[in-house]
Chain A
Amino acid sequence: MKRLLLQLFAISSLALLAAGGYGSSRPRYGGAVRVLLHDKVMSLDPLSDEDHPAARDRMTALAFETLTEIDAQGHLRPMLASSWHADTAKRVWQFRLRLANFHDGTVLTAADAAASLAKSNPAWKYSAPDRQTITIETPSPVQHMPEMMALPRYAIVKRQADSNGAVVLAGTGSYKLSQWQAGERAQFTANEDYWGGRPFADTIEFQMGSSLRDQLMERQLGPYAATELSVDQIRTVEQNNQTVALSRPSDLLAIVFLQPDSGGKPGKKPVDQRIREALGLAVNRAAISNVLFQRKGAPASGLLPQWLTGYEFMFGGATNLDRARELRADAAAFVVISPIALAYDFADPQAKLVAERIAVDAREAGIVVQPYAESHINGKTSRSAINADAVLLRVPLQSVDPQVALAARIDDLGLFQENSPAILGATRPEDLFEIERKLLASNHVVPVAHIPQALWLNNNAHNWQQLVTGAWQLDQLWVEGAR
């Protein structure tokens, strides 16, 4: 039922997009596609500890391919792997690679894939029985290995040192990196030797670091094909009869308490569990979703959205100020309650508003929350160095497979990694629910909202595929005015 819903939604999204122009003309080769990105990406390596991994993954998907992929309809599809199978225990997986070349002209081999995957997940064992077969052996069962392999972090990347000792990345994607200015600009050129055929557009250029307001100005003035939008801009854009692509409420906006055992600064005094719970009860999620996210978001009570798991509603999430005040008073009897320093992404104005709203709600429960902007809260390394008691994190939904999505999400949130085997080995939704319930019971993470990815599309850009997770698939993208 769930999968059917997903498919229906994906089809309807595509139909909407196609109605924008595809129907009026056929795809054309050539042309340059210019895209504005809000975030600044400093490295294209899928394994880099990037402040903005979602933006990075959007660009790297052009150059670096995974063994499998989830298509716009939510279907698992072969990518670099043409087929795969597993043993009955789901511990040994074997993938058969298709014939493909790296951008440097070398042929993709199983050894290359094993070397790349070994960097992505050193806990697993990789072997290459032959040039086209790669075997992955895991210490515990992984029920959804093919879906896992669709995650950007498992992209097959050939890392070689150049004459200067710098690492040069080579992928097998439909576009190859032609120009790169970290944090400012990235240009990808069509891969003429792509195993799936040459893409339509000649180049795709990403301009990074523009504020959303600037992007809106550029959209009105410049020749861009697409820009990211914040949710509060959607209404204005829609009122001007512009095209907006909106994903499902897939990103999770959550308060993550930085405890020493969960990615926080070593030696930092943890916030009392009762205060964490009280804060969770004080937050008015409905107000945040309805007003700040203009009903485009959804109140979050779980780590994964309701539309994906079907059980999120069981976590409650309703505001209960009386209980919050009780918990606060209970805690005050035992510990000194200090103000909670809540860091939010410096570059995200929506996050600022949400953090301030959380502070307002917390104040009603007698908890002092002091929001402040931080420039690097998404990177795990940088997060462990900041002085905040908690961060307001926005993490993307990496997969439409609940198990893979949950495993990726706890990794992104810096939660207890020891739960990963149980998640990946879960065979029933009930098991996943129980794991998530236990994760939430510690109140280290207070889910606030699920928010969609919003994108403005120029009417001359066609086949811009935005998945339900907000990820882009641009291999079929073409623009009008090309030859």
Chain B
Amino acid sequence: MSLKTKLLLLVTVSITASVGAVAWLIEERAHEAFRQVEQDRTSALVNQFRREFEHEGEEITRGVEAIAGSDVMLRTVTELANGAEYANYVNEAASHATAQRLDFLDLIAPDGAIISSAHWPARFGYKQRWFLDRPAPLPQQAFLKHIETPQGSVLAMICLRPVRVHGLSFYLIGGRKLDAVVQSLSAPAGLRVSIFSAPEQGPGELLGPARESFGSAKAMALIQKVLEQRNESSTTVDSGPASGQEEIVHAIPLPGYTDRVPAVLLVANSLEQELLLEKRIRNISLMIAGVGVFIGVVVSGIVTARFSRPIRTLAQAATEIGQGNWNVRVETSGKDEIGKLAVAFNQMTEELMGQRERLVQSERVAAWRELARRLAHELKNPLFPLQITVENLLRARQNSPEMFDEVFRESTTTLLAEIANLKTIIGRFSDFSKMPAPQLQAVDLNEIVRSVAQLFQAQLNREPARIKPALHLGDVPQVNADPVLLRRVIENLVLNAIDAMPKGGTLTFLTTTADRSAVFELSDTGDGLTPEECERLFTPYYTTKQHGTGLGLAIVQSVVSDHGGKISVSSKKDQGTTFHVELPVFSDASTVEFGSGKD
């Protein structure tokens, strides 16, 4: 991935993240704001309910107190206290309840027996002792309690007032159904309100016009939680089948006259409008974010291209240097870091070129020196016999003319032999300088290896230094090589290996594949080489043998290199040496490439 792409990607990611963060922040803020509005609406409704609740409670209290203080009731209670039959007053409560608009009114005897019940006249005689058996006094204001009626238990707001006559306390319990309070609430659009009535026995029920919509399992679980924990709570429930039809339900416990919660006020606020607005804000945010990211990417692309161009130029220059083209210069524009880097780069290449020149010159000198040394060494050996032979001829001419002919004959033979030797030496140097270009074709590497091993079979089996050949030839594809040169390479390596094992050993041939190359390895079990020897092994005219020219492995490396391959050596002292040759696999493309190369 290019620096430009990386920079572009980095900038794009940064812009996207920034814009996304801003969009998220906007959405969260909007969400919080909507929640606050929803809370305010709910609070307003709850406050309205509380006001209605208190107002209703005050009305009920006033009504019950009015009945308790009325002359009619005082007269009734006085008559009852004086022994009048309860039966005569069985319908007493109804008219009082009607006058005070009470849904419930019980006139109760001191022992708790119902004398008259407006809402359940048939219940006369039965006892109500819940307020008599209670150790703590009841609240003076109206409170919530479930009242038994013919239709079942009904949640009511009731008030109790004693009426005392002649030391006897009769009681009036009056109240109204709570659902009337719910009915009177005017909930704004999108808000619904209901009350869950939780009687002491039996299942609870929802009151109010919107009760059906609070029957979901989630809402019921919320109600149960509030009943158990006696704390306000809320949850979000689905109010319809389509997505987005959600509402938040607040559950507020309504206190009774004991610790037990007799009812829960439920306020549901539809989130439909809010979610629509949030969705709109989100869409706008996304649109802005998209445009921002697009502009950011375009601008950053331009900026990145401008900033990365000199770096790319430097990189290309460095690549060319790496490919051997040292004569590269980069344009130096500007005085910023990139400009300074370009100047430094140019200075560096100039310095490197200078160093290379010096290195080439020194290597050239060293090569000439080595060549001179080698030539001197190689030529000195035959020259010395030539000198001795010529001196012997001169000496025989002077000292023993009779033997001169014989000496002359022997000396000329020797001279010719040494001259032939000199010619051979010169021929080798000539060969090295005239290495032919390889004629590449598809070659079966295994076949050549097998053939060479067969060729050297007799030499390997020579006693006493018997060498055991081991062939591990893998399934390698054909290589792109000159068969003659490749054979020479392998023969040369085998000869070296045989020389390395004067006491015999094992010579291992191995072929395998690696990536898109075929691999040939030849391992001996000789004394091995030192690291220094390994390093200089392919240097021309370097040899570890007494009579070597030091050109064999140099030729091998040259041939392998001409084939586009690689050769390396690894060795361990006293364990042997392994030559590792990698050759390119033959393919049509390689032929074409080669062909075009030739052209």
Question: Which of A's residues lie within 8 Å of B, judged by CB?
Answer: 232, 235, 284, 287, 290-292, 294-295, 353-360, 371
Q: Contact at B91–A232, with CB atoms within 8 Å? A: yes
CB distance from A434 to the nearest CB of B (A): 35
Q: Which residues of B contact A291 (CB under 8 A)?
A: 86-87, 90, 124-125
Q: Which residues of A contact B121 (CB under 8 A)?
A: 353, 356
Knowing A291-B87, A294-B88, say if A359 contacts B150 (CB, 8 Å): yes
Within the assembled complex, what's the spacing in Å between the Cα atoms of A354 and B122?
7
Q: Which residues of A contact B126 (CB under 8 A)?
A: 360
Q: Which residues of B contact A354 (CB under 8 A)?
A: 122
Knowing A291-B86, A371-B150, say if A356 contacts B91 (CB, 8 Å): no
Knowing A356-B150, A359-B150, A371-B150, say if A295 contacts B123 (CB, 8 Å): no
Q: Contact at A292–B120, with CB atoms within 8 Å? A: no
Q: Contact at A357–B122, with CB atoms within 8 Å? A: yes
Q: Which residues of B contact A292 (CB under 8 A)?
A: 90, 122
- Which residue on A lies nearest to B121, using beta carbons? A353
CB distance from A175 to the nearest CB of B (A): 38
Interchain residue pairs with CB less than 8 A apart (24): A235-B88, A284-B125, A290-B87, A291-B86, A291-B125, A292-B90, A292-B122, A294-B87, A294-B88, A295-B85, A295-B87, A353-B121, A356-B120, A356-B121, A356-B122, A356-B150, A357-B122, A357-B123, A359-B150, A360-B120, A360-B122, A360-B123, A360-B126, A371-B150
The 5 tightest CB contacts between A and B, nearest first, are: A356-B122, A357-B122, A291-B87, A291-B90, A290-B87
Identify which of A232, A295, A353 contacts B122 (C-beta below 8 A): A353
B-side interface mostly: loop
CB distance from B87 to the nearest CB of A (A): 4
Within the assembled complex, what's the spacing in Å between the Cα atoms of A290 and B88?
9
Q: Contact at A287–B124, with CB atoms within 8 Å? A: yes
Q: Which residues of A contact B86 (CB under 8 A)?
A: 291
Q: Which residues of B contact A357 (CB under 8 A)?
A: 122-124
- A287-B124, A359-B122, A359-B150 are known contacts; what are 8 more A-B pairs with Cβ within 8 Å? A232-B90, A291-B124, A294-B87, A294-B88, A295-B87, A356-B120, A360-B120, A360-B126
Within the assembled complex, what's the spacing in Å between the Cα atoms of A295 and B90?
12
Interface residues of B in 75-107 (CB under 8 A from A): 85-88, 90-91
Question: Which of B's residues lie within 8 Å of A, judged by CB?
Answer: 85-88, 90-91, 120-126, 150
Within the assembled complex, what's the spacing in Å between the Cα atoms of A291 and B117?
13
CB distance from A298 to the nearest CB of B (A): 14
Q: Which residues of A contact B120 (CB under 8 A)?
A: 356, 360
Within the assembled complex, what's the spacing in Å between the Cα atoms of A306 and B86?
26
Within the assembled complex, what's the spacing in Å between the Cα atoms of A355 and B123?
11
Q: Contact at A287–B91, with CB atoms within 8 Å? A: no
CB distance from B90 to the nearest CB of A (A): 5
CB distance from B123 to the nearest CB of A (A): 5
- Which residue on A lies nearest to B116, using beta carbons? A291
- Which residue on A lies nearest to B151, using beta carbons? A370
Q: Which residues of A contact B85 (CB under 8 A)?
A: 290, 295
Within the assembled complex, what's the spacing in Å between the Cα atoms of A259 and B129?
40
Within the assembled complex, what's the spacing in Å between the Cα atoms of A113 and B492?
158
Within the assembled complex, what's the spacing in Å between the Cα atoms of A292 and B90?
8
CB distance from B277 to the nearest CB of A (A): 51
CB distance from B228 to the nearest CB of A (A): 29
Within the assembled complex, what's the spacing in Å between the Cα atoms of A323 and B124?
22
Within the assembled complex, what's the spacing in Å between the Cα atoms of A357 and B124?
8
- Which residue on B lies nearest to A371, using beta carbons? B150
Knowing A294-B88, A360-B120, say if A287 contacts B150 (CB, 8 Å): no
Q: Which residues of A contact B124 (CB under 8 A)?
A: 287, 291, 357
- Which residue on B lies nearest to A357, using beta carbons? B122
Q: Which residues of B contact A284 (CB under 8 A)?
A: 125
Within the assembled complex, what's the spacing in Å between the Cα atoms of A284 and B120?
16
Within the assembled complex, what's the spacing in Å between the Cα atoms of A319 and B453?
127
CB distance from B553 to the nearest CB of A (A): 109
Q: Which of A232, A291, A292, A295 has the most CB of B within 10 A?
A: A291
Within the assembled complex, what's the spacing in Å between the Cα atoms of A448 and B319?
118
CB distance from B105 to the nearest CB of A (A): 16
- Which residue on A lies nearest to B91, using beta carbons? A232
- Which residue on B lies nearest to A294, using beta carbons? B87
CB distance from B291 to the nearest CB of A (A): 70
Q: Which residues of B contact A356 (CB under 8 A)?
A: 120-122, 150
Within the assembled complex, what's the spacing in Å between the Cα atoms of A235 and B126?
24
Q: Which residues of A contact B87 (CB under 8 A)?
A: 290-291, 294-295
Q: Which residues of A contact B88 (CB under 8 A)?
A: 235, 294
CB distance from A279 to the nearest CB of B (A): 15
- Which residue on A lies nearest to B115, using beta carbons? A291
- Which residue on A lies nearest to B124, using beta carbons? A291
Within the assembled complex, what's the spacing in Å between the Cα atoms of A358 and B121?
12
CB distance from B117 to the nearest CB of A (A): 10
Within the assembled complex, what's the spacing in Å between the Cα atoms of A88 and B13?
124
Q: Which residues of A contact B90 (CB under 8 A)?
A: 232, 291-292
Q: Which residues of A contact B150 (CB under 8 A)?
A: 356, 359-360, 371
Q: Which residues of B contact A287 (CB under 8 A)?
A: 124-125
Q: Which residues of B contact A360 (CB under 8 A)?
A: 120, 122-123, 126, 150
Q: Which residues of B contact A232 (CB under 8 A)?
A: 90-91
Within the assembled complex, what's the spacing in Å between the Cα atoms of A182 and B87?
38
CB distance from B107 to the nearest CB of A (A): 13
Within the assembled complex, what's the spacing in Å between the Cα atoms of A353 and B90?
11
Within the assembled complex, what's the spacing in Å between the Cα atoms of A26 and B85?
41
Within the assembled complex, what's the spacing in Å between the Cα atoms of A265 and B415?
154
- Which residue on B lies nearest to A359, using beta carbons? B150
Within the assembled complex, what's the spacing in Å between the Cα atoms of A51 and B87?
31
Within the assembled complex, what's the spacing in Å between the Cα atoms of A358 and B125?
13
Within the assembled complex, what's the spacing in Å between the Cα atoms of A411 and B86?
37
Within the assembled complex, what's the spacing in Å between the Cα atoms of A129 and B30?
108
Q: Which residues of B contact A371 (CB under 8 A)?
A: 150
Q: Which residues of A contact B122 (CB under 8 A)?
A: 292, 353-360
- Which residue on A lies nearest to B123, using beta carbons? A360
Q: Which residues of A contact B123 (CB under 8 A)?
A: 357, 360
- Which residue on B lies nearest to A295, using beta carbons? B87
- Which residue on A lies nearest to B87, using beta carbons? A291
Within the assembled complex, what's the spacing in Å between the Cα atoms of A292 and B122?
8
Q: Which residues of B contact A235 (CB under 8 A)?
A: 88
Within the assembled complex, what's the spacing in Å between the Cα atoms of A387 and B472?
105
- Which residue on A lies nearest to B90, using beta carbons? A291
Within the assembled complex, what's the spacing in Å between the Cα atoms of A359 and B126?
13
CB distance from B98 to the nearest CB of A (A): 13
CB distance from A85 to the nearest CB of B (A): 50
- Which residue on A lies nearest to B125, using beta carbons? A287
Q: Which residues of A contact B125 (CB under 8 A)?
A: 284, 287, 291
CB distance from B76 to the nearest CB of A (A): 13
CB distance from B97 to the nearest CB of A (A): 16
- Which residue on B lies nearest to A236, using beta carbons? B91
CB distance from B252 to the nearest CB of A (A): 33
Within the assembled complex, what's the spacing in Å between the Cα atoms of A353 and B126?
15
CB distance from B150 to the nearest CB of A (A): 6
Q: Which of B122, B123, B124 has the most CB of A within 10 A?
A: B122
Within the assembled complex, what's the spacing in Å between the Cα atoms of A355 and B87?
17
CB distance from A216 to the nearest CB of B (A): 14
CB distance from B247 to the nearest CB of A (A): 37
CB distance from B350 to the nearest CB of A (A): 110
CB distance from A288 to the nearest CB of B (A): 9
Within the assembled complex, what's the spacing in Å between the Cα atoms of A292 and B124?
9
Within the assembled complex, what's the spacing in Å between the Cα atoms of A360 and B127?
12
CB distance from B598 to the nearest CB of A (A): 107
Within the assembled complex, what's the spacing in Å between the Cα atoms of A354 and B123?
10
CB distance from A313 to the nearest CB of B (A): 22
CB distance from A166 to the nearest CB of B (A): 45
CB distance from B86 to the nearest CB of A (A): 7
Within the assembled complex, what's the spacing in Å between the Cα atoms of A235 and B124?
18
Within the assembled complex, what's the spacing in Å between the Cα atoms of A483 and B539?
169
CB distance from B201 to the nearest CB of A (A): 12
Within the assembled complex, what's the spacing in Å between the Cα atoms of A295 and B84?
13
Within the assembled complex, what's the spacing in Å between the Cα atoms of A468 and B583?
139
Within the assembled complex, what's the spacing in Å between the Cα atoms of A271 and B442?
108
- Which residue on B lies nearest to A356, using beta carbons? B122
